[in-house]
Amino acid sequence: MRHFAFLDPPVVEALFYRPPEEIPADGDRRLLATALGATLYAPGTRFQLAHDVRRQTAAGVTSMVLCLEDAIADTEVAAAETNVVAALRDLADDPPRSGAGMPLLFVRVRAVSQIPDLIGRLGAAGAACLAGFVLPKFSEEGGEVALEAVLRAADTIGRPLWAMPVLESPPVINRETRVEALGAVRRLVDKHADHVLAIRLGATDLCGLFGLRRDRDLTIYDIAVVRDCIADIVNICARGGDHIVTGPVWEYFAAAERLFVSSLRVTPFEQVEGVDGEQAVRMRSALVSSDLDRLIREVVLDRANGLCGKTVIHPSHIPAVHALHVVSQEEYADAETILTGNAQTGNAGGVRRSAYANKMNELGPHRAWAEAVLRRARAFGVLREGDTFVEVLAATAASVASVGSVGSDRPEPAAVHVPAETAGAL
């Protein structure tokens, strides 16, 4: 798969100092997990599911989850399973033809028994475009069984399948059980590290355990019990950089009355080359009116807290998430300075002055950060000097306006519309 493959070559040339690379599905695990980006969830009952996948792939989606769990009612499970099997067979016979390649497609199951059943119904040919399974409410109890089921499914079709556990159960967030529960999760994912692509956060379920739901004016980091839980998940499960933890879902996608003024500055939009002031104001207004400015703030906080990528439930979220994962020229230069310095000194430490003359780069403490930046650079590219995520949003808006771009007056639902009553469950 390749990010921003929908952009015309001259746009890519003008925008990127280093364009995104094509990421092989069987490549480095942490690089592939980084490249997940905005993972779009779709209910398994979705009409014309295979068509939705093709359409969203053309618009920039690189990973999707076909959900058989909270996104559908208990009475719809059998129909959803049949629909997902049919969609995967359709995609295997007629994969997306966009330059982005085949997105990573996962099925989110609600019971471990669904894994062998779905594989049996698909067969090796029908499962050709299946990347793996999302394992909800993952914990020590049942976690080993679920991971082993994915391994057996891989053996059945004769190729590897990825597992993505979701942390969203009471033992994970309850203070008196959290450390022990997360320690058990870490041991499980370490044991199966070659097959666990990323660890996902079920923030909606975690909020629900306390009867909470964040308002559209807030980020998940304003919800204290969930913020503390995220900190411990990163501390235990992401420590050492061996595992990627993805950002939680942003569940709002329609305009509504706002309580607080937006903190999204006007200046970056006024400075976009090739966009006049009126267009820039309209672009920013579209982001604010759709609450995407709050999403932007949450993605920035995700990255600051050690998370990478994000679960999304609406196509209008994808451009913002991907734009914020593109590496700036300054980040890239600092990362190269750090890693080059470590190579020269044999990892003996020390400091190097930033080429931007605004910071010191410590070779030891900043090494893991630099390695993560270079993975993002390979997956999402490096911007040219002076450009920001706003330039990426502007380029994306111009290229995919027909599928609900951020530059339109009102983001359209596009192909994967999640009804309001189920949006929070994703």
pLDDT of res. 205: 95
Class of residue 285 by CB neighbours under 10 A (exposed 0-12, middle 13-18, buried 19+): middle
pLDDT of res. 408: 31
User: Would 396 be classed as within a structural domain?
Assistant: no
User: Would 13 be classed as within a structural domain?
Assistant: no
By C-alpha distance, which of 40, 33, 30 is closest to 61? Answer: 40
pLDDT of res. 401: 52
Nearest-5° angle of CA 278, CA 282, CA 285?
135
pLDDT of res. 406: 35
Which region among 23-27, 196-200, 419-423 has the lowest average model confidence (pLDDT)?
419-423
User: Would 386 be classed as within a structural domain?
Assistant: no
User: Would 9 be classed as within a structural domain?
Assistant: no
Residue bearing the bigger pLDDT, 386 or 307: 307
Q: What is the mean pLDDT of the chain?
A: 87
Same structural domain for residues 223 and 300?
yes
Same structural domain for residues 259 and 336?
no
User: Would 167 be classed as within a structural domain?
Assistant: yes
Same structural domain for residues 30 and 114?
yes
Consecutive H or E run containing 310: strand 310-312
User: Would 300 be classed as within a structural domain?
Assistant: yes
Q: Please check the confidence at residue 375 and state whether its pLDDT lies above 60.
A: yes
Same structural domain for residues 417 and 294?
yes
Same structural domain for residues 311 and 346?
no
Q: Which residue has the tokens 């009126």?
A: 278
Cβ–Cβ contacts within 10 Å for residue 146, how many?
Answer: 22
Give CA–CA dist 153/159, Å, rounded.
9
Same structural domain for residues 46 and 168?
yes
Residue-wise pLDDT for 315-349, tens only, equals: 989 999 999 999 999 999 999 999 999 898 888 88
Residue-wise pLDDT for 234-245, tens only, equals: 999 999 999 999
Structural domain of residue 248, as residue ranges? 23-264+277-325+413-423
Q: Please check the confidence at residue 394 and state whether its pLDDT lies above 60.
A: yes
Which region among 2-6, 97-101, 137-141 has the lowest average model confidence (pLDDT)?
97-101
Instruction: Please list, in sequence order, all residues whose beta carbon lies within 8 angstroms of the beta carbon of residue 365, skipping any fewer than 6 positions away.
Output: none
Same structural domain for residues 350 and 255?
no
Residue bearing the bigger pLDDT, 288 or 14: 14
Q: Which is it for the CA torsion 304, 254, 290, 52, positive or negative?
A: positive
Same structural domain for residues 319 and 360?
no
Number of domains in the chain: 2
Q: Please check the confidence at residue 421 and state whether its pLDDT lies above 50.
A: no
User: Would 198 be classed as within a structural domain?
Assistant: yes
Same structural domain for residues 118 and 220?
yes
Residue-wise pLDDT for 37-46, tens only, equals: 999 999 999 9
Same structural domain for residues 204 and 64?
yes
User: Would 387 be classed as within a structural domain?
Assistant: no
Encode burial over 3-32: b for 16+ CB neighbours within 10 A, e otherwise.
Answer: bbbbbeeebeeebbbebbbebebeeebbbb
Q: Please check the confidence at residue 409 and state whether its pLDDT lies above 50.
A: no
pLDDT of res. 418: 37
pTM of the model as a whole: 0.88
Residue-wise pLDDT for 114-151, tens only, equals: 999 999 999 999 999 999 999 999 999 999 999 999 99
The enclosing domain of 55 has a CATH number of 3.20.20.60
**Whether 77 contacts 68, CB under 8 Å:** yes
Same structural domain for residues 207 and 134?
yes
Residue-wise pLDDT for 261-278, tens only, equals: 566 655 566 566 655 556
pLDDT of res. 405: 35
Q: Please check the confidence at residue 82 and state whether its pLDDT lies above 90.
A: yes
In the chain, the percentage of residues whose pLDDT exceeds 70 is 84
Same structural domain for residues 207 and 347?
no
Kindly state the average pLDDT of the residues 165-179: 97
